[in-house]
Amino acid sequence: MKFVVRPQHILSMGGYIVETDFPYRNVIVVNPTLEPIKIEVPIFDEEWVEEHRQLGLEIIPLTEKDNYLSNFRKAKAKLEKLKAEG
């Protein structure tokens, strides 16, 4: 299945991680471009992270030790700054 990440939009993919041995509990996906980008879901392995970075997306993988809300707010603020500059 594929999702489309709208231009200059941010998504949280925690509900789409299906492997129990996946090292991250959540993945924040940021599309800083002006084009929509298709992503594969669900997330099965670590290769997904690098494959989607190569598409121009900012991928922020989160472990159990990472604070989701803090990371999401930082990514959102960075995206809002990018929007304001554009």
pLDDT in tens, 1-25: 999 999 999 999 998 988 778 899 9
Is the pTM for the entire model greater than 0.85?
A: yes
Contact criterion met (CB below 8 Å) for 49 and 10: no
In this predicted structure, what is the pLDDT of residue 19? Answer: 77
Q: Name residues of the chain where pLDDT drops below 50.
A: none
Measured at the alpha carbon of residue 56, what is the angle toward residues 51 and 58, in degrees to the nearest 5? 85
- What pLDDT score does 21 carry? 82
**3-class DSSP state for residue 38?**
strand
The C-alpha atoms of residue 45 and residue 85 are separated, in whole angstroms, by 35
The token duo for 36 is: 């929509």
